Amino acid sequence: MILKGEVRTHDELNAAKKSISMQYGLSGFPKNSAILSTATGSERDIIKRLVQIKPVRTISGVAVIAVMTSPHKCPHGLCVPCPGGPQSHFQSPQSYTGYEPAALRAVQQDFDPYRQVTERLKQLKQMGHSVDKAELIVMGGTVTSRSLCYQEWFVRRCIDAMNCFGSAGCATLSLESAQAINETAKVRNVGITFETRPDWARKEHVDQMLKMGGTKVELGVQSTYDFVLKRMQRGHTVKDVIEANAVLRDSGFKVGFHMMPGLPGSDFDMDLNMFRRIFTDPKFCPDYLKIYPTLVIEGTQLYEMWQSGEYDPLTNEDAIKLICQIKMLLSKWTRLQRIQREIPAHLIMAGVTKSNIQQLVENRLNELNKRCQCIRCREVGHALLKGIVPHPEHIELKIEEYNACNGLEHFISFEESDILIGFLRLRFPHNPYRPELKDAALVRELHVYGPMVPLGQKAASEWQHRGYGEELLKCAEELALDAGFSRIAIISGIGVREYYKKLGYERDGPYMVKLQ
């Protein structure tokens, strides 16, 4: 019926399921995954568009696999708002309650990395998503404070799961062998993100993350006020943030900030000025951003402060107003990844209780006739979901320069009006310490957006595999050459190395490098 064009919408699909179930006396409606599994070849692409569950999961071009390390104490102690940790009544990874979706999946799999990745790949596959390009996010507190043995074992087993997906279980003997296999595996790792603290993102930690295949680091910055950090017992300073940001960028990493408006000692105006600062002060300028309004969770020190009247949390309305103003500050080269933690409302004693605050913020901006200019709000995949289709003849190459951490950044992009097709982050570094980066300009990120197209395939209606990535890279190479750089180095995901080899790049340590 779908192939004949008799079923075109989700409502028509549900009606057809009901009719067939009644006709054949089925005990329940056919599952979308079952319908998809019967399709072959070209049929699958047609059917997938209708039965795919949560298309946003791969709308940015990759399948995101979030995994959690086992519960472990943070090295500095316990922050005032933190609900988690092995000694909390949640007995969860630090900074998590254990009820977040990724945390629940981790608990179900006893925090085993291989099983976490395998089960998530299965889920996405059953929902109709391609998993050829998998981005791994390693969560669970201060990952870089764990023993080197645990870190390497955890990442190796995650990669093993990608290498062996769809076949019998397997194991490699070393991290290097797992990475080598993944370069040509069916499920390739296109990047690894590590969550950590600014004081645990120094050179020795950067070296370890590079060894494990890291391409992006999310720093728990929380605030740019030292007295606020001290009051929340954070255990690091703003100086630590600035130093970590600089060493990560000069090593090629993408950098994300986790920020917490509404902390004790701050207020609405201070929070707004804090966000204004991180996008105007070159010492900050994060590539990615997550906004986590401070929440009061039972069992935390913040809960005791709230009960005693020492702390007055953000309300839902205050948070909506604040985040609307923050979104107006965001640069075109920043991606706002998330607003609000995925903590169940029944665990939130006070603070922002609306789980759909991101949608409420977007609704408010629409009412005000304003639009955020961040990467996520301009991605072509999200435009396609709204029925907006770019015209290839109107797509332009744009270059925006800005200073960050004493280096010069270039945001090179293909766009049509406010629709972003793809982009590349090129950095002329200030003081790289890695020997592979001598006299090199750095490509910190290359990303073409739109629904994921499987490796080796082309889809006429999608935007990946159309040559935009290669053109962005050529532009970066020309800019680097004109600036006097003799080499260009790319921090590449393990499974993307083959792509760069075809473009003349060779492996040099953790990087892919080409002589100009």
| Strand bridging mode 188-196 / 348-350 | unpaired
Domain boundary among 20, 35, 51: 51
For residue 255, being part of any structural domain is answered with: no
pLDDT of 48 above 80: no
pLDDT of 47 above 70: no
Domain boundary among 162, 192, 222: 222
For residue 241, being part of any structural domain is answered with: no
pLDDT of 61 above 90: no
Alpha-carbon distances of 211 from 119, 184, 399, 502, rounded to whole Å: 26, 19, 31, 23
For residue 1, being part of any structural domain is answered with: no
Mean pLDDT (the chain, rounded) = 90
For residue 508, being part of any structural domain is answered with: yes
| Cα(393)–Cα(283) distance, integer angstroms | 38
For residue 102, being part of any structural domain is answered with: yes
pLDDT at site 149 = 98
Q: Give 144's pLDDT tier (boundaries 50, 70, 90).
A: very high
Residue with tokens 């709308």: 59
Could you tell me if 308 and 390 lie in one domain? no
Could you tell me if 346 and 371 lie in one domain? yes
Write down how long the chain is: 516
For residue 191, being part of any structural domain is answered with: yes
Could you tell me if 20 and 92 lie in one domain? no
Q: Which of 6-10, 20-24, 113-117 has the lowest mean pLDDT?
A: 6-10
pLDDT digits (tens, 9 = 90+) for 428-482: 999 999 999 999 999 999 999 876 456 655 554 455 557 899 999 999 999 999 9
Q: Which of 48-57, 63-72, 141-150, 324-333 has the lowest mean pLDDT?
A: 48-57
pLDDT at site 12 = 72
Higher-confidence residue of 381 and 421: namely 421
Domain boundary among 325, 352, 376: 376
Question: Residues 90-94: what's their mean pLDDT?
Answer: 81
The amino acid occupying position 491 is I
Query: Are 227 and 266 in contact, with CB atoms under 8 Å apart?
Result: no
Q: Which of 32-36, 148-152, 388-392 has the lowest mean pLDDT?
A: 32-36
pLDDT of 293 above 90: yes
Could you tell me if 88 and 200 lie in one domain? yes
Could you tell me if 388 and 493 lie in one domain? yes
pLDDT digits (tens, 9 = 90+) for 227-241: 999 999 999 999 999
Residue with tokens 């083959």: 498
Question: Residues 486-492: what's their mean pLDDT?
Answer: 98
Q: End-to-end distance of the chain based on CA atoms, in angstroms?
A: 55
Query: Are 450 and 427 in contact, with CB atoms under 8 Å apart?
Result: no
pLDDT of 327 above 90: yes
pLDDT of 399 above 90: yes
Could you tell me if 211 and 64 lie in one domain? yes
- Report the candidate in 280, 117, 90 with the shortest Cα–Cα distance to residue 192: 117
Percentage helix, strand, coil for the chain under 3-state DSSP, each rounded to 5: 40, 20, 40
Q: How many domains does the chain have?
A: 4
Radius of gyration of the chain (CA): 23
- Adjacent-strand bridge partners of 68: 139
| Cα(143)–Cα(74) distance, integer angstroms | 9
From the number of C-beta atoms within 10 Å of its C-beta (0-12, 13-18, 19+), residue 96 rates as: buried
pLDDT at site 463 = 53
Higher-confidence residue of 75 and 307: namely 307
Could you tell me if 61 and 198 lie in one domain? yes
**Tokens found for residue 145:** 């404070």
pLDDT of 193 above 90: yes
- Adjacent-strand bridge partners of 409: 402, 427
Could you tell me if 191 and 278 lie in one domain? no
**Longest Cα pair distance anywhere in the chain, in angstroms?**
73
For residue 235, being part of any structural domain is answered with: no
What's the CATH code of the domain at 419? 3.40.630.30
Could you tell me if 39 and 113 lie in one domain? no
Could you tell me if 22 and 67 lie in one domain? no
Q: At 57, is the secondary structure helix, strand, or coil?
A: helix
pLDDT of 339 above 60: yes
pLDDT at site 34 = 66
pLDDT at site 476 = 98
pLDDT at site 29 = 76
Could you tell me if 184 and 99 lie in one domain? yes
Share of the chain above pLDDT 90, in %: 72
Q: Which of 357-371, 378-392, 432-446 has the lowest mean pLDDT?
A: 378-392
The amino acid occupying position 338 is R
Could you tell me if 274 and 364 lie in one domain? yes
pLDDT of 219 above 70: yes
Q: What stretches of 256-334 show up as alpha helix (H) in DSSP?
A: 268-280, 301-307, 316-327
pLDDT of 207 above 60: yes
- Report the candidate in 265, 325, 264 with the shortest Cα–Cα distance to residue 291: 325
Higher-confidence residue of 494 and 60: namely 494
Q: What are the backbone dihedrals phi and psi of residue 296, each rounded to the nearest 5 degrees, phi first?
A: -95, 115
Share of the chain above pLDDT 70, in %: 89
Tell me the residue range of the domain where 36 lies: 10-51
Give the list of residues 6+ apart from residue 206 with CB closer than 8 angstroms, or none. 247, 248, 251, 253
Helical pair 42-51 and 10-24, crossing angle rounded to 10 deg: 100
For residue 2, being part of any structural domain is answered with: no
pLDDT digits (tens, 9 = 90+) for 416-428: 988 999 999 999 9
Give the list of residues 6+ apart from residue 281 with CB closer than 8 angstroms, or none. none
Question: Residues 257-269: what's their mean pLDDT?
Answer: 98
| Strand bridging mode 440-448 / 487-491 | parallel
